[in-house]
Chain A
Amino acid sequence: MTLQNPEFEAECIRRILAGEKHLFHDLIRPCERSIYFLLLSLLKNESEVEDVAQETVIKVYQNLDKFRGDAQFRTWVLSIARNEGLGRLRKISSRREDSLDAETDEQTGDYTPAILTSWCEIPTEALERKELGGILREAIEGLPEIYRNVVLLRDIEEMDIRQTASALGISEAAVKVRLHRARALLQRNLAPKLKGFAPKRKNWFRGRT
């Protein structure tokens, strides 16, 4: 995650609109990761994502004079990315004839956690190994879409509940419910697998308190 700086953004936008177009690179750079992962959660196809990401940044540029500063810049950018992504999905699904609205919060599932008592340390060194990254990515990619979106923004891009709700166009209550279920599903899936990685304690828990 890259920290946002509203003063820098406001100044950048003012200067871009005044003609210093090249500053747009600096303005959009901190949002790149979020754009990519939001679109990946919607589209699941890297080349589609790249294509729509490019359309998104141009749309942001073209609409820069409409940004009023009443939302965070990144949140505004992500709502544009989401619209572009949904537009692309509609195009794809009109070819495939499957519904975008098939998944709802009403769906049932087993959210009881995996019970284990000895995995309480973080296998951080194991992250260096491709294997662990692969297990984590696979688990997240295997989540139902409505949960995956929330995890990508909230836990991977570390946006707060309000920003996540705004970027996805859902209520904060829905973000919390989906996040809870997503984490429960991930824990259930991952805890038994990650237990196999030899843990070594490192004090890198940044504390989400």
Chain B
Amino acid sequence: MRIDCNHVWEYISAYIDNDLDPVVRADIDRHLETCEICSAVLDSTRNVVILVADERVFELPSGFSDRLHAHIDREISPSK
């Protein structure tokens, strides 16, 4: 089956998560071989997913963990 660019974009997220029917995935792969635009959209979307997952982007506030554990100590070990 030939699919168009709009069709491919509908499946980009599921494609990245490898959550597609093999037949649909094969159709998309065939489209990607010849479509520079969709390849770039796929790459850039995948890169965005990778970048937001980087722990350096979303760091816990400084001291969050220490304060959380100090609170736990106060609440669960009053005798400590």
Contact call B76/A50, Cβ cutoff below 8 A = no
Cβ–Cβ < 8 Å partners of A206 in chain B: 50
Contact between A53 and B68, CB atoms less than 8 A apart = yes
Contacting pair B75 A133 (CB below 8 A): no
Any B CB within 8 A of the CB of A3? no
Do A32 and B13 touch across chains, with their CB atoms under 8 A apart? no
Which of B12, B13, B40 is in CB contact (< 8 Å) with A117? Answer: B40
Are A136 and B37 within 8 A (Cβ)? no
Confirm or deny: B3 has a beta carbon within 8 angstroms of a beta carbon on chain A: no
Q: Tell me the residues in window 4-55 of chain B with beta carbons closer than 8 Å to chain A beta carbons.
A: 6, 9-10, 12-14, 16-19, 36-37, 39-41, 43-54
Give the total number of A-B pairs whose CB atoms are below 8 A apart.
142
Closest Cβ of chain A to B6, distance in Å, is 8
Chain A residues with CB under 8 Å of B72's CB are 24-25, 28, 57-58, 61
Residues on B with C-beta less than 8 A from A66 are: none
B45 touches A36 (CB 8 A): no
Distance (Å) between the CB of B16 and the closest chain A CB?
6
**A208 located at the interface, meaning its Cβ lies under 8 Å from any Cβ of chain B in the complex:** yes
Q: Tell whether A43 is near chain B: CB-to-CB under 8 Å.
A: no
Complex interface: chain B residues within 8 A of A194 (CB): 44, 47-48, 51
Q: Tell whether A118 pairs with B9 under 8 Å between CB atoms, given A22-B77, A190-B48.
A: no
Chain A 56-79, CB within 8 Å of chain B: the 1/0 string?
011001000000000000000000
List the 10 shortest-distance A-B pairs measured between CB atoms, nearest first. A180-B13, A120-B43, A191-B44, A187-B45, A113-B41, A54-B71, A209-B18, A117-B40, A133-B57, A136-B57
Q: List 20 A-B contacts (CB under 8 A).
A: A25-B69, A25-B72, A36-B60, A36-B64, A37-B58, A54-B68, A57-B71, A58-B71, A58-B75, A61-B76, A113-B12, A114-B41, A114-B44, A117-B37, A119-B44, A120-B43, A156-B53, A156-B57, A183-B13, A184-B45
Given contacts A50-B61, A127-B56, 11 further A-B contacts (CB under 8 A): A25-B69, A116-B40, A136-B51, A155-B52, A155-B53, A176-B14, A179-B17, A184-B9, A187-B45, A206-B50, A208-B18
